[in-house]
């Protein structure tokens, strides 16, 4: 378990923007890992912060979804945080997973 987003002090939008801007020759997007082992009880906050950083840089967000926390984060309406133009990465099939 990594819990990288469990402490939101590590999800520093300004620092992410500054670091990515200084390294635009190698930075192609902002990646956020979202699963029960990374976000703790922070629900969609890490995704929202990744979206803010990506928008400030004009870059896409890449989402790595692992084991979904119970219940999985949901947005009540179509949201800028999940635009179609941004890829969704690594949606593994978990035991008991069924397509609906």
What is the pLDDT, as a whole number, of residue 12? Answer: 96
- Which of these, 60, 6, 72, lies nearest to 29 by C-alpha position? 60
Any domain includes 99: no
* Residue at 36 is within a domain: yes
The answer to whether 79 and 51 have CB atoms below 8 angstroms apart is no
**59-88 confidence digits (pLDDT tens):** 999 888 776 554 544 544 445 445 544 555
> Domain span at residue 45?
8-72+82-89
In a domain, 18, yes or no: yes
Omega within 30 of 0 (cis) for the link into 65: no
8 A C-beta contact, residue 3 and residue 41 = no
Phi, psi of 61 (to 5 degrees): -100, 135
């Amino acid at each position: 378990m990594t819990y990288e987003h469990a402490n939101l002090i590590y999800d520093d939008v300004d620092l992410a923007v500054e670091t990515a801007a200084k390294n635009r020759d190698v930075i192609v997007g902002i990646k956020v890992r979202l699963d029960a082992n990374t976000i703790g009880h922070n629900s969609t906050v890490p995704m929202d912060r990744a979206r803010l950083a990506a928008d400030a840089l004009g870059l896409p967000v890449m989402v790595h979804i692992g084991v979904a926390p119970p219940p999985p984060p949901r947005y009540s309406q179509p949201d800028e945080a999940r635009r179609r133009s941004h890829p969704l990465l690594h949606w593994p099939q978990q035991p008991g997973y069924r397509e609906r």
